[in-house]
């Protein structure tokens, strides 16, 4: 039995938002762990403990902002898109390296430094990946549900030769040259095809078209 389209759409939407919620929670978890490590690193680097929380906000916050900006500017020229992508790479590297450096300063002596560094880097990497994935999902959902814009402001092409002839006559009476280019614009075809079609229409409707096109035929 065929599935109800409404049910399929509803299930897809539920799955999308459920996944998006899970990704957002993972991003929040990664941010929280990375935030804690970067606060300690900022304090160890000499930043006032009361203000140290601002440093991870700047670093990890920029990851979120740069990711969203990169996708908001998707499709623009490289002169525009290089900036958010460069910022995303730069601050992601700072976050990962910062978490790794923090591990080398506070890791238990019984834990290998390499392992501690890798473990401490995971939250920053998870934040980057989760944020990127969340923006991709939102962008895909928006593109899927967006109402397509009209492809052209041109009136719909006539559905028959008689309607096309009537449109050509109306254009001729308004002062437009009756040419293959005009027919192409009315029928939604190439100029070459418009010329050929005009020649055929002249033969089919000599009384309607011949008088007008004898004096104004051009391109």
Secondary structure (DSSP) of 13-75: HHHHHHHHHHHHHHHHHHHHHHHHHHHHHHHHTT--TTTTTHHHHHHHHHHHHHHHHHHHTTT
Q: How far apart are CA 168 and CA 180, in angstroms?
A: 10
Amino acid 5: pLDDT: 46
- Cα radius of gyration rounded to whole Å, the chain: 32
Amino acid 156: pLDDT: 46
Amino acid 108: pLDDT: 61
Amino acid 54: pLDDT: 92
CA distances from 167 to 70, 81, 150 (A): 47, 45, 21
Q: Which helix (H) or strand (E) holds 103?
A: helix 78-106
Q: How far apart are CA 38 and CA 32, in angstroms?
A: 10
CA distances from 153 to 40, 74, 80, 185, 188 (A): 60, 26, 29, 11, 12
- Closest C-alpha among 118, 90, 95, 113 to residue 41: 95
Amino acid 145: pLDDT: 55
The whole model's pTM is what? 0.51
Token pair, residue 55, equals 């440093």
Cα angle at 46 between 42 and 49, to 5 degrees? 65
CB 130 within 8 Å of CB 25: no
Amino acid 144: pLDDT: 55
Amino acid 211: pLDDT: 53
Alpha carbon 96 to chain centroid distance?
A: 27
**From its phi and psi, is residue 107 left (phi > 0), alpha (psi between -120 and 50) or beta?**
beta
Token pair, residue 119, equals 């473990």
Amino acid 155: pLDDT: 47
Token pair, residue 41, equals 């690193």
Amino acid 215: pLDDT: 44
- pLDDT tens per residue, the chain (219 residues)? 445 444 445 677 777 778 878 888 888 888 888 888 899 889 888 899 899 999 988 888 888 888 888 888 877 888 888 888 888 889 888 888 888 888 887 766 567 777 877 888 888 888 888 877 777 777 666 655 544 454 445 444 445 788 888 888 888 888 888 888 888 888 888 888 888 888 888 888 888 886 554 444 445
């Amino acid at each position: 039995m065929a599935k109800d389209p409404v049910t399929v759409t509803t299930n897809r939407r539920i799955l999308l938002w459920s996944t998006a919620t899970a990704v957002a929670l993972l991003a929040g978890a990664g941010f929280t762990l990375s935030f804690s490590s970067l606060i300690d690193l900022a304090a160890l680097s000499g930043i006032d403990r009361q203000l140290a929380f601002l440093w991870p906000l700047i670093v990890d916050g920029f990851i979120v902002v740069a990711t969203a900006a990169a996708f908001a500017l998707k499709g623009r020229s490289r002169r525009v898109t290089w900036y958010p992508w460069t910022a995303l790479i730069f601050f992601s590297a700072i976050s990962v390296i910062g978490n790794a450096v923090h591990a080398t300063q506070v890791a238990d002596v019984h834990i290998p430094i390499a392992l501690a560094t890798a473990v401490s880097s995971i939250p920053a990497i998870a934040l980057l990946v989760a944020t990127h994935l969340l923006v991709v999902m939102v962008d895909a959902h928006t593109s899927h549900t967006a109402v397509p814009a009209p492809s052209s402001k041109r009136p719909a092409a006539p559905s028959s030769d008689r309607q096309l002839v009537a449109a050509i006559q109306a254009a001729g009476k308004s002062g437009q040259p009756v040419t293959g280019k005009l027919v192409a614009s009315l029928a939604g075809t190439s100029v070459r095809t418009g010329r050929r079609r005009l020649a055929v229409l002249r033969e089919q409707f000599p009384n309607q078209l011949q008088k007008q096109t004898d004096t104004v035929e051009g391109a």
